[in-house]
Structure 1
Amino acid sequence: MSMDLVEVVRSGFRECVHRGSAVALRPDGEPLVEVGAVHGPIFPRSTNKPMQALTLLRNGFEPADDAELAIATASHFGEADHLRLVQRLLDRFGCTEDDLECPPDLPFEEQARARVLAGSDRAQAARRIYMNCSGKHAAMLATCKINDWPTRGYLEVGHPLQQAVLETIADVTGEPETDLGIDGCGLPIVPVSLVNLARAYAAFATAAPGTPERRVADAIRAHPRVISGTDGPDFRVMSATPGLVCKIGADGVHAGALPDGSAFAYKIDDGADRARLPLTLAILQRMGVEWTDEHAELAAPAVLGGGARVGIIRAIPGVL
């Protein structure tokens, strides 16, 4: 059963509560925090992108640089540098935006979105390359080209690429394939438990230098803005926490690990984005991260009233 994890306090009054489940593991893999249903299945959403990127490396994909590997792992904001990386990847393997099978979308970042909407309605402005998963899809097309697999239908569960992804996820999480779903970008998604999702991130964070797992982790560490965007949660948290590898997923999922192998994963039941940073920071504090003013600021976003700070959003004291 999930538990109350994050509260919204306005003028000293608890206005809202966000429930969920969370786990944090010690470097030896033993639990430090277990709250809620951490052994039951959840859809990991985009927290599975490092595992998908690992599949690509295991099947011959060779990125031009760490930034290209990062965009293959990204939930990017559709900013100019993100789009350049995706387009470069498509160009390198003789693909076009029309080959992408993710749905058309608008950039997530506000200014980028405003620019593409200027003079256009949403239907006209939306493009596949703007979709936050387009880097992953471009890298999947590249891997299909390398292996002489069909590029059309690469997101179908029966495609050789997706079969390889399922094998990798089972390998890294230790959980068998069950009850497949379809993620927001159209790719298959496998439910996993929070505890095994955290263990998977620990494996990436502690992998030996030069291994595919370590290459993915190092690309994320080196390019936190590429995998996220301006003021994105992952960018802000990793910028404040050297060595951290983390990735958000839609609908309230987040997972990450430190170089010593301590790791976390959580799911917020209602998917509320505003609960992410307070919960992530509270977990990192329990994991022993050296606390800074930047961490403290991220841990307690303001609740506004009349344009002034009248409260905070915070992890409920004593729950973790």
Structure 2
Amino acid sequence: MGVGDHLEVLIRRCYAGLDADQLRSEVLARLRGVLTVDAAFFATVDPATVLFTSAMADEPLGAVTEQFLANEFGQADVNKFAVLAGGRDPVRSLGQATKGEWTNSPRYAEVMRPLGLGDELRAALMANGRCWGVLCLHRENAEAGFADHEVQLVRRLAPHLGEGLRLGLRGSAVGAAGAGQVSAMDADGVPRIGPGVVVLDRLLRRHSVTAEAEHWMSELGAEEELPVAVRAVAARMRMGGVTARVKVRARGGEWLELQASRLGDDGQTVVVIEPATPAQLGSLLLDLHGLTPAQQRVTELLLRGYSTRQIVERLCLSPHTVQEHVRASFDKVGVGSRRELVSALLRGSA
């Protein structure tokens, strides 16, 4: 089987309904059949902030997590994931970004080279104009890095990976419902379990954790160490100096919001973890279901109780166009009426 055939198989697997962990494991295994990859980092992100929500990292990358986060969120460098996500080309190698002068990158000089790693190939995994994940492939330190045809292979694969992550994230709620998982909210939209609080010391290590926070962190897949979402939102707050937020879908399908703030003057950080309300989710659910910007504008007004006539007047569209957008939204969310659409989106069950 040639490289092109391997790539086609990889692309098909992105639409196989795999969850994020399954997709990451399979993609990395198959990529190693066509590329030399000595270490890899593969994360899902909150598309609104490009903060990590879950991650898979090969050794020796796990040993430098704190340095990596400090570089990503607080140090000037090339190929930042947020920059790739907002730029024309979401896939670039370190060699391309530095014109072969790898040492111009602090991340290479201070973090990767000491680990024996050289060139890296980074990708923001985009779908429907939003970033749903990031990928970084590493090579051992050597004179030669990633070739142009290898960069092009990842560039071709990246949007399919983004779509696969989006589909997997959307499907997690369906899987949770089918498995009998209990929603984080009751029928009135009140959280069954209240906010949890994590206090981190000046080195972003656990200082104290409430029982509620222990519950929510277990739902994020972390039994002993801090979930990557907690580390990422705390690092962003620490480096930026302002409150940072990230939205995450937990294993049970419920949506959580994490908010990090500075605590006092001794360098501590507090992270609050709580079920996200419909207002906090905002347009995330619409992005998740693949609604176009035009469909989102119509649907957001519909969720606010606007009639077709009011939407027509507000957006200066024809009634036919509004109805077309509404029907498209029904199809993408999987409902058959306005009432079902409002129920699905405003209760966070979509």
Q: TM-score, normalised by structure 2?
A: 0.29
Asked which structure has the greater RCO (Cα within 8 Å, sep 6+), the reply is: 1
